[in-house]
Amino acid sequence: QFTFHFQTLKDDFERTVIDDSREAGMPMEIIVGKMFKLEIWETLLSSMRIGEVAEFWCDAIHTGMYALVSRGMRRIAEGRDPLEGQKHRCGMGNMFDYHSTGYDDLDELQRTPQPLIFIMELFRVEDPSAYKRDTWAMSKEEKLAAVPVLHSEGNRLVLRREFAQAAAKYQEAVICLRNLQAKEKPWEDGWLKLENLVTPLVLNYCQCQLELGEYYEVLEHTTELLQKHNDNAKAYFKRAKAHAAVWNEREAREDFQRVAHLDPSMAAAVKKELKQLGERMRKKHVEDRKRYQGLFQSSQGV
């Protein structure tokens, strides 16, 4: 894997800058042998030493795919999916599918490929086993393979009570699966198989958030889950605990009762939670009453 900064310039009198990775605020990373659209970059970077800055002039025969490469990089810098809207075809096929890249200067390059100048600064070279790939850059097979690894790492971190780190692992696994789900038709077999993998990861993520006190996040994710799976007792249980934590007594009781109805084996746990909820609410009512009495007496004194 090469990590580098680059500038792309037109071969004109002004040396017009098309892209600058430093201005975009992020370096570029490519992996040798992974069929990167702009193959000439692999050749150029392979000729460089770490720390070297070099300038290359490339003929139009090597730069025809630059518009698509730049489009993806710009989308990433903007926080968007670089593959958004792409069809499942090769890079050249995709180029003809697009009427516009969404960027005027890149549309010009796409219509009339031309020589370009690349100024590159290579600052890191890593063995493939030494780096972690971004989710968006993974193939379908890599995403599927990453999910059980991330799930296992999350479980290990939970045992060590490192809940924030565990939540990040579960969240990354969910993102992998959601990206794959987006390419499936909702509620059909492929989509459902992925959804069955997503559900326990979301529940584990919510448990971490409960431990971290992020109760409204739990409410958001469990409610979203229950909109699709309204018979999931564990989701109701976690949502009930979050409601209880933020003093939503009625909602908490309703969710706990649903848990006991859906899964009688959880009845003992529900009974314990309802008892604790009742005690907390009684204590809160006493404290509130004292507070209001104090305010009333203060106002009478004034």
Domains and CATH numbers, the chain: 2-125 (3.10.50.40), 140-299 (1.25.40.10)
In contact, 63 and 91? CB cutoff 8 Å: no
Which residue's entry shows tokens 């393979």? 145
Q: For the chain, state the CA radius of gyration.
A: 27
Nearest CA among 231, 204, 229, 232 for reference residue 218: 204
The pTM score is: 0.56
Structure tokens at 135: 């989710």
Q: Residue 257's pLDDT band (boundaries 50, 70, 90)?
A: very high
Lowest pLDDT segment from 30-34, 46-50, 107-111, 227-231: 30-34
So what's the pLDDT on residue 34? 65
In contact, 75 and 17? CB cutoff 8 Å: no
| Strand spans (E) along 83-130 | 116-125
pLDDT tens readout for residues 48-97: 999 999 999 999 988 888 988 888 888 877 766 555 544 433 443 443 44
Q: Residue 140's pLDDT band (boundaries 50, 70, 90)?
A: confident
So what's the pLDDT on residue 84? 53
d(CA 265, CA 267) in angstroms, rounded, equals: 6
Say which DSSP state 247 is in.
Answer: T
So what's the pLDDT on residue 76? 75
Give kind and range of the element (H or E) at residue 276. helix 267-301
- Is the pLDDT reported for residue 136 higher than 80? no
So what's the pLDDT on residue 83? 52
So what's the pLDDT on residue 166? 93
Q: Work out the average pLDDT over 265-281.
A: 92
Q: Residue 250's pLDDT band (boundaries 50, 70, 90)?
A: very high
